[in-house]
């Protein structure tokens, strides 16, 4: 089996696992923006050794390196909070989030 076919089959398995886990957690599918933002928040928390991040201090980019518009960021954060994948800390206008 050639390399590309092998990697594609592995990708299919990972996507199926992700879908299965999303069903188990009852969160539905994440949008591309939600995935990019969730991964960035998690990376920042782990790399800094903190329990939370201040989103004002982070530059969010999509998979292709393009900046994520602020309106998309806040819409995605609201959805991620609703799905209980991130927590909004502090007051309503706070920019602090944790996973």
- What are the backbone dihedrals phi and psi of residue 79, each rounded to the nearest 5 degrees, phi first? -65, -40
pLDDT tens digits along 29-85: 999 999 999 999 999 999 989 999 999 999 999 999 999 999 999 999 999 999 999
Q: Are 42 and 69 in the same domain? A: yes
Q: Are 35 and 57 in the same domain? A: yes
CB burial of residue 77 (10 Å; 0-12, 13-18, 19+): buried
Number of Cβ within 10 Å of residue 76's Cβ equals 22
Q: Are 38 and 78 in the same domain? A: yes
Number of domains in the chain: 2
**Are the beta carbons of 99 and 45 closer than 8 angstroms?**
yes
The pTM of the full predicted model, rounded to 2 decimals, is 0.87
Q: Are 17 and 57 in the same domain? A: no
Q: Are 5 and 44 in the same domain? A: no
Q: Are 6 and 52 in the same domain? A: no
Is 91's pLDDT higher than 90? yes
Structural domain of residue 7, as residue ranges?
Answer: 1-29
Q: Are 3 and 44 in the same domain? A: no
| Spatial separation of the C-alpha atoms in residues 25 and 16, rounded to whole Å | 14
Q: Are 14 and 46 in the same domain? A: no
Q: Are 25 and 54 in the same domain? A: no
């Amino acid at each position: 089996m050639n390399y590309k076919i092998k990697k594609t089959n592995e990708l299919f398995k990972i996507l199926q696992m992700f879908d299965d886990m999303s069903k188990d957690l009852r969160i539905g599918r994440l949008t591309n923006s939600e995935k990019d933002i969730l991964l960035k928040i998690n990376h920042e928390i782990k790399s800094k050794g903190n329990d939370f991040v201040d989103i004002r201090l982070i530059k969010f980019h999509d998979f292709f390196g393009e900046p994520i518009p602020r309106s998309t960021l806040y819409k995605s954060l609201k959805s991620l909070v609703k799905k209980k994948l991130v927590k909004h800390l502090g007051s309503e206008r706070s920019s602090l989030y944790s996973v």
